[in-house]
Structure 1
Amino acid sequence: MICQKEAQGSGRPDQDHLLSLAVEAYLFGFASVEMFRTMDDLARAERNGLGLDFNRFTHARRLAASDSKWLAAPNTEMLYSNAWLDLSQGPVLLEIPDMGSRYYVVQLLDFFANSYAHLGSRTLGNRGGRLVIEGPGWSGQVPEGLTVLESPTSFAWILARIHVRDGEALPAVNALQDQLEVAPLRASGQSLAVGERWPRFRNRSAIDFFVNLDQVLRRNPPLPGDAGWIARLRQLGLLGDQSLEADAIDPGLRGILERAVAIGQQRIAERESQFETYCPGWIWEGLSAGSGARDHLSRAASAKAGLGILCAEEAIYPLAYVDAQGHPLDGRCSYRLSFSPQELPQAKYFWWVTVYELPDYRLVANSLSRYVWGSVRGRLDPAADGKLEVLLQPDCPAGSSSNWLPTPAEGKFAVALRVFGPSKAMLTGRHRLPQVVRL
């Protein structure tokens, strides 16, 4: 049985100290446990046609809709392809095809949900390329002339997005997905099935969070800046000689860990609505979005809202949770978002607005299967005063529905603005957006 270790110079450790440590461990590990959960979901569910072996691309062949559950706050205008990497046996070769004039981005994330590369239209160009991705500490020869990227963790994720133009048939984009390739640089002879390399994700009780975290860290040690966490986590029974098992935890320590999960969840929920102010009525994660520069709480809150947030130079995601009066957006009410010409998002590529149901950031089911409004939808017709406006409400407005974006019939929701290729003014916060106004 895993017992509470004695504190130096006393009979038992200080309970408050262990609780504080367990809360911080929850925040430290939340994003990596979400990575494990997502990988496990994709590996074992026939969801959106996605199955999973390591070092192999799988593809979502249709755009995200209200029944898409595998990723929070999904992007509805791009097709996803993803590959989970096992770099513990050696590097992989990544091949990206020529995308023509189409926008795309191939995002590389470590197992702590930090982005370490964005390969795409902005950085790599549209002709694609061939690159090698290696794990931490690997030393060996790679074919001459290939760019080498190092993943900070032995297991990692590739999340690719390819833009689907308005009204375009999907087979043309599916063909580009099929040309994305990843494979071991040298065959290891070991099975690449996720189910044979990792245990099942556990989600029976709050205590299973720490069981999952123990499994993650055995395969992906904390990054150099977090190396001190190894000794601290051992105080909680993690990273011992044997894998952590829930039924082997001392009842006293078990109670502390369960309380820590509840407190950690509350802190994450509070942090979600307290990101940096982008402009009045809108918040965002700031210029450190998606990077390893985030503190543990910010990283956890970001993972709760959705894994795979792109770096700010690639795209920004201002969020509105409240109306112009500061009241939470409510499905029982109707709202208007009205852009003057000066307030329109400044984007090199495109922008759009999406509504997400809270707390899980799911798309809103509606009769038109409409989830976005913005420049990706072609021509936008301005009102008589020159403004572009969208009505946010559960029911279709009388007359034209072209400027209607459905909201849930009840409950809270968020309005998300995606801007791909934001201008410098948008990155620095000098650009102002209109607030959501209740009608």
Structure 2
Amino acid sequence: MKYKSISAALALQLALTALCDQSRAQESTPQELIERSIQRRAVEAVIWGIPAVNYERMLEAAIANGAKLNQVVYWSKPVNAANQTLTPNPDTIYLNPFYDTTDGPVVVEIPPADDDHVIVGSFDVAWQNALADVGPAGTDKGKGGKYLLTPPGYKEEVPEGYFVLPTETYRGFVILRSNFKSRSEADIKSAVEHGKRVKVYRLGGDPASTVFVDAYGKAFDATIPYDASFYELLDRFVQAEPWLTRDKAMIDSLKTIGIEKGKSFKPDAKTKAILADAAKEARQVIALKYETGFSPAFFEGTSWGVPVPPETRGGLGNMFSNPNEYGLDGRAVMYHMAYFSPKVFGGGQFYLINISDASNKALEGSKTYRLKVPAEAPVEQYWSVTAYDRETHALIRGVDRPSLASNDTAVQKNADGSTDVYFGPAAPAGKESNWVPTDPGRRFELLFRLYGPKKELFEQKWKLPGVEEVK
């Protein structure tokens, strides 16, 4: 009995020793720990930094087209697939002033709306949080006016007669849409002329000094690069903008991957490989949240959803003032597939996104689908529906008509006032005017826009049905 007890104790000791040896054998080396830390923090850096990189990509594209900060990039016609910003609206005239308050306040003048013209949009900081909305539902109530952007920490007295917008970043942009009454050449030209009444200049400067740079038909690629170059763009942003209190937890995380304010970002080959893998992983994480994030649906029984969760939606308009919420995951989802945020969601515009048909299957570019838009859509201005590449979230390349809108007089309506919109690689017979082409080799997604939404939309008195596959 005594020997059995000793043998059992010895066996236990040997087993514990073996486990310790195995544990020591599995312990990570210091280099392995460093590399795993870089990987983890690089994934989180993408999720946190997407709106910043999104902004840098747009600014980069503007500069590549000959524009400078405090100038206006505009499109002299509705955008086509040469514009690879994220989910742009091809049924309006875009004007995008990119402002820089580093050397002092900047003035942006908006002309008043009239019976034939209206400009709507939003002022955003470089993080793409909204400062104010423009137009009938915005700060100026459609009367136009002078907006004054002041830099972070600005304490000087400002003159009267301005809508003053203190910014938390030095740079940012204004998304402006000069809406046209129809797609006739005359109406589009008139919308462009009205848009070019916008002025951008430094406080005390000459409004006539405003520079407009036409980007229509030119390559304007602002899609997100999910590779090591993502971090180069993020570093550029960090060097240019002040740290915000809500983001200080990221300072050490970014140092881990080599991004530090005031220092050069020079990752070695090994680190670049880790960063590239991390960017790909982050993209997968965000895509998963995107694909599962439209529940509950805005219209019950359909796949139409609001592309931003409530906690993120509210924070974008109030600089995330709620101390108990930040909504970073939702923000990453939003800015991996779109750019800009309005001050008030549902004020001047409202967006619904759909990535699947009525059978909850992904929208395939090789198939044909129909969306029946009911009559009397609850909008003051117009509605539109646009097809985008599911992977890039930009306009589908190689198609000449990315959308259909209610301000297009060529669109056929049904006897009851509804409108059938078809999506597919070829137009159904006799439906060419109501057809939006797709790429048969790629999946697509739909964004339904309502400009000047009425209360009936939010009261669910009008309902957009699901997208039906046409067999």
TM-score for both structures, normalised by structure 2: 0.78
Deviations 1:50-92 (A, max 9, x none): x3111122321111123333x2222112111111111111111
Q: Which residue of 2 aligns with 1:83?
A: 97
* Alpha-carbon distance in 2 for matches of 1:205, 1:435: 32
2:258 matches 1:237:
yes
Deviations 1:378-415 (A, max 9, x none): 48655456643222222122234333332323321112
CA contact (8 A) 2:151 2:169 kept: yes
Q: How far is the alpha carbon of 1:372 from its aligned partner? A: 2.9
Within the candidate set 227, 244, 248, 1:223 is matched to: 244
Q: How far is the alpha carbon of 1:204 from its aligned partner? A: 9.6
AA aligned to 1:433 is: L
Q: Which residue of 2 aligns with 1:146?
A: 162
Q: How far is the alpha carbon of 1:245 from its aligned partner? A: 1.8
AA aligned to 1:281 is: S
Q: How far is the alpha carbon of 1:425 from its aligned partner? A: 4.7
Change (3 A) 1:20 1:87: same
Change (3 A) 1:263 1:242: same
* Alpha-carbon distance in 1 for matches of 2:191, 2:415: 38
2:412 matches 1:389:
no
AA aligned to 1:218 is: Q
2:421 matches 1:421:
no
Change (3 A) 1:128 1:370: same
Q: How far is the alpha carbon of 1:255 from its aligned partner? A: 4.5
Gaps of 5+ in 2: 1-28, 212-221, 321-325
* Alpha-carbon distance in 2 for matches of 1:163, 1:254: 44
Change (3 A) 1:399 1:134: same
Q: Select the structure of larger CA radius of gyration.
A: 2
Q: Which residue of 2 aligns with 1:132?
A: 148
Specify the SS of the correspondent of 1:402.
helix
Q: Which residue of 1 aligns with 2:287?
A: 269
CA contact (8 A) 2:385 2:449 kept: yes
AA aligned to 2:189 is: P
Relative to structure 2, which stretch is displaced further, 309-318 or 284-293? 284-293
Specify the SS of the correspondent of 1:142.
coil
CA contact (8 A) 1:211 1:246 kept: no
Change (3 A) 1:254 1:356: closer
Deviations 1:159-209 (A, max 9, x none): 21110121252332222222111111157xxxx99xxxxxxx9x9993332
AA aligned to 1:349 is: Q
Change (3 A) 1:11 1:361: closer
Deviations 1:263-320 (A, max 9, x none): 1111122223233332321122245545444622322222221212443322222112
CA contact (8 A) 1:63 1:79 kept: yes
Q: How far is the alpha carbon of 1:435 from its aligned partner? A: 0.5
2:391 matches 1:351:
no
Within the candidate set 164, 169, 173, 1:157 is matched to: 173
Change (3 A) 1:385 1:99: closer
Change (3 A) 1:121 1:134: same
Q: Which residue of 1 aligns with 2:22?
A: none
Q: Which residue of 2 aligns with 1:7?
A: none
* Alpha-carbon distance in 2 for matches of 1:204, 1:271: 18
CA contact (8 A) 1:207 1:246 kept: no
Q: How far is the alpha carbon of 1:27 from its aligned partner? A: 0.9
Q: What is the percentage of aligned positions where both structures have the same residue? A: 24
2:299 matches 1:281:
no
CA contact (8 A) 2:62 2:73 kept: no
* Alpha-carbon distance in 1 for matches of 2:193, 2:49: 37
* Alpha-carbon distance in 2 for matches of 1:119, 1:336: 34
Q: Which residue of 2 aligns with 1:99?
A: 113
Listed as ranges, the matches of 1:36-55 within 5 Å are 36-45=56-65, 51-55=66-70
Deviations 1:217-271 (A, max 9, x none): 1211333321222233223321154221234x7x3x4454333212111112222
* Alpha-carbon distance in 2 for matches of 1:68, 1:25: 27
Q: Which residue of 2 aligns with 1:48?
A: none
Deviations 1:342-381 (A, max 9, x none): xx642222212122233223434678x4333342224865
Specify the SS of the correspondent of 1:39.
helix
Gaps of 5+ in 1: 1-9, 46-50, 194-200
AA aligned to 1:285 is: P
Specify the SS of the correspondent of 1:376.
coil
**Pairs aligned (count):** 406
- Greater share of helix: 2
Specify the SS of the correspondent of 2:432.
coil
CA contact (8 A) 2:122 2:134 kept: yes
Listed as ranges, the matches of 1:13-32 within 5 Å are 16-32=36-52
Q: Which residue of 2 aligns with 1:177?
A: 195
Specify the SS of the correspondent of 1:31.
helix
2:125 matches 1:110:
yes
Relative to structure 2, which stretch is displaced further, 93-102 or 286-295? 286-295
* Alpha-carbon distance in 2 for matches of 1:205, 1:387: 41
